């Protein structure tokens, strides 16, 4: 067993495909397969099972994967610590972004990273805040943006942007479809109004969904959830088609690239907000690279927030 074999194995496991991993690693697929077989031979176990869509981890493979990720990250931190003496951040860093912020931040983050950190490598993964929190706490992601994270000892969080939640409806005034009732002509919305409309929301583990259900319950109301959809873009497609209404932040709507097709009314009675936080592991020491990317990502979020709320007094921390 050697570090290169572990790196190859992790890449195949994460991508679920030898061919995709071979492209990413810039290695011939037969050579990649041979290294993984040598690893299986050395450990006397089967690590990956092939199926019609690629490969999946066996139980032994899952255990090795967890160990391998930690080993490779430890080796990377050793390199970063040694190279930090030259005051030039280097190494590899994994940043986690929620899908809505990913569409807004990926391009400027990659471009800024390449200009400022030519000797470092950046990887970006997308996921719901609950998943990103788990990945940061287990070490698979170095830092990430989370919506309304719940306190947990494994994470250190820094609030960077507070955005108002708003009721999202189609911009047109035509006849609603699929039971999507017409909304008030007012420029703001109330929680009471929200509970009378068919809503298209993410699953119950989503931060905004939990906030809405908690506030509705405290007011003695119950939400009318007509559809549960995880993808923000899919939610907006359904709203535009008249199948219901959504509750989102201005940045999530802007990330769709088609904000003009929708009407966004801030929820003011009571005022509901979503707080975006930068999160890192509480148990992993910061490196020059992670500190640099932390600052870079915070500046990008603040700039994006100002673009969405040029006259707002929302706190940008």
Radius of gyration of the chain (CA): 22
Which one-letter DSSP state was computed for residue 244?
Answer: -
User: CA separation (Å) from 181 to 46, 173, 208, 245, 259?
Assistant: 55, 11, 22, 9, 20
Which one-letter DSSP state was computed for residue 14?
Answer: H
Domain 88-161+275-317 has CATH 3.90.79.10: no
Q: Which pLDDT does position 307 carry in this prediction?
A: 72
Q: Which pLDDT does position 99 carry in this prediction?
A: 84
Q: Which pLDDT does position 176 carry in this prediction?
A: 47
User: 């943006």: which residue's tokens?
Assistant: 145
Residues 6+ apart with CB under 8 A from 121: 91, 92, 93
| Class (C level, CATH) for 1-78 | mainly alpha
Cβ-contact 157, 272 below 8 angstroms: no
Q: Would you kindly state where each structural domain of the chain is located, as residue ranges?
A: 1-78, 88-161+275-317, 166-271
Q: Which pLDDT does position 174 carry in this prediction?
A: 41
- The region, left, alpha or beta by phi > 0 then psi within -120 to 50, assigned to residue 67 is alpha
Please provide the CATH number assigned to the domain covering 166-271.
3.40.190.10
Domain 88-161+275-317 matches domain 166-271 at the CATH topology level: yes
* Mean pLDDT per 10-residue segment, the chain (317 residues): 91 91 90 93 92 89 92 81 65 90 90 91 90 89 91 91 91 53 72 91 84 89 90 90 91 84 89 92 88 94 75 44
The C-alpha atoms of residue 115 and residue 182 are separated, in whole angstroms, by: 49
Q: Which pLDDT does position 309 carry in this prediction?
A: 59
Q: Which pLDDT does position 312 carry in this prediction?
A: 45
- The region, left, alpha or beta by phi > 0 then psi within -120 to 50, assigned to residue 27 is beta
pTM assigned to the model = 0.65
């Amino acid at each position: 067993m050697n570090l290169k074999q572990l790196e190859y194995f992790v890449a195949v496991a994460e991508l679920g495909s030898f061919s995709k991993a071979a492209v990413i690693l810039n290695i011939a697929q037969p050579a990649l397969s041979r290294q993984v077989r040598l690893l299986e031979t050395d450990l006397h176990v089967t690590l990956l099972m092939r199926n019609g869509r690629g490969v999946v981890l066996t139980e032994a493979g899952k255990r090795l994967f967890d160990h391998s990720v930690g080993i490779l990250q430890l080796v990377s931190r050793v390199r970063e610590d040694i190279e930090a003496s030259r005051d030039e951040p280097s190494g590899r860093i994994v940043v986690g972004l929620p899908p809505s912020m990913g569409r807004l931040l990926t391009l400027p983050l990659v471009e800024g990273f390449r200009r400022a950190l030519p000797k470092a490598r950046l990887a970006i993964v997308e996921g719901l805040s609950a998943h990103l929190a788990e990945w940061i706490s287990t070490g698979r992601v170095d830092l990430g943006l989370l919506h309304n994270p719940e306190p947990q000892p494994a994470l250190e969080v820094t609030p960077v942007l507070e955005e108002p939640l708003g009721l999202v409806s189609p911009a047109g005034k035509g006849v609603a479809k699929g039971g999507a009732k017409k909304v008030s002509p007012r420029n703001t919305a109330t929680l009471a109004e929200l509970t009378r409309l068919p809503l298209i929301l993410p699953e119950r583990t989503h931060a905004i969904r939990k906030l809405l259900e908690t506030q509705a319950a405290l007011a003695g109301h119950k939400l009318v959830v007509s559809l549960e959809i995880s993808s923000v873009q899919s939610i907006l497609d359904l709203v535009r088609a008249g199948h219901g209404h959504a509750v989102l932040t201005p940045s999530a709507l802007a990330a769709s690239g088609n904000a003009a097709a929708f009407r966004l009314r801030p929820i003011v009675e009571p005022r509901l907000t979503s707080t975006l936080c930068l999160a890192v592991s509480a148990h992993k020491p910061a490196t020059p690279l992670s500190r640099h990317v932390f600052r870079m990502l915070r500046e990008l979020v603040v700039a994006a927030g100002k673009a969405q709320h040029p006259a707002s007094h929302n706190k940008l921390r």
